[in-house]
Amino acid sequence: MILPLVFVDANVFIYARDPREPRKEARARQWLAGLWRERTGRTSALVLAEFYAVVTRKLAQPVPEELAWDDVTRYLAWRPRAIDEAVLHLARETSQRFALGWWDSLLVAAAKLQGCSVLLTDELKDGLAFGTLGVRNPFTLEATEPLARYEVTHHVAPLHRPRGRPKRVAA
């Protein structure tokens, strides 16, 4: 069985380091451990930068910079997607097509360009779909539950024109 690639948003990494909400902390850690085990986790450089800034400066009990940096360097093994020209173009298209905010569009674009089937976040509505990318909330979906498969079905082109008689074939 081929497991789907899962793009992880900053909030999952942050909750894994924030003891103020023990249920979310446990769930985030469970997800991250499973993604490591299955080697299906993906993220972006922007997500890791946000994680580092939040856990070292904005939490009630900030994480020491050395520990936060250790986390960032560990997740570099997931080959985080840089915010490059391709991400910017796809984010712009996504933002316009789905009336989505810019930062969320950057997440969707980075996830899609990495071939992910699932975007793990609680920032967007659970169950949303952006083409082949589905949004799942890590705090309502058990890490042990199978992830839904999001696949595009291709339709076979009709053999005749939409109206009228079939085209004549030259002899």
**pLDDT number for residue 104:** 97
Asked if residue 150 has pLDDT above 50, the reply is no
Q: What is the pLDDT of residues 12-55, one digit of tens each?
A: 999 999 999 999 999 999 999 999 999 999 999 999 999 999 99
Residue 157 neighbours by CB under 8 Å, 6+ apart = none
- Boundaries of every domain in the chain: 6-136
Residue-wise pLDDT tens digits, 104-140: 999 999 999 999 999 999 999 999 999 999 999 999 8
Whether the predicted pLDDT of 154 surpasses 60: no
- As a whole number of Å, the end-to-end CA separation of the chain is 50
Give this prediction's pTM: 0.81
- What is the C-alpha to C-alpha distance for residues 63 and 46, in angstroms, rounded to an integer? 19
Q: What CATH code is assigned to 6-136?
A: 3.40.50.1010
What's the burial of 25, exposed, middle or buried (CB within 10 Å: 0-12/13-18/19+)? middle
Q: Is the pLDDT of residue 98 over 90?
A: yes
Element holding 161 (H helix, E strand): none
Question: What is the average per-residue pLDDT within 97-105?
Answer: 96
Per DSSP, helices labelled H in 20-167 are 22-38, 45-57, 65-75, 85-98, 102-113
CA distance 135 to 128: 5
Q: Which one-letter DSSP state was computed for residue 101?
A: -
pLDDT band of residue 141 (cuts 50, 70, 90) is confident
Over 70: is that where the pLDDT of 163 sits?
no
Burial of 73 (0-12, 13-18, 19+ CB in 10 A): exposed
At 144 the pLDDT is 59
Using alpha carbons, list the distances in angstroms from residue 19 to 28, 35, 39, 151, 159: 11, 21, 26, 37, 61
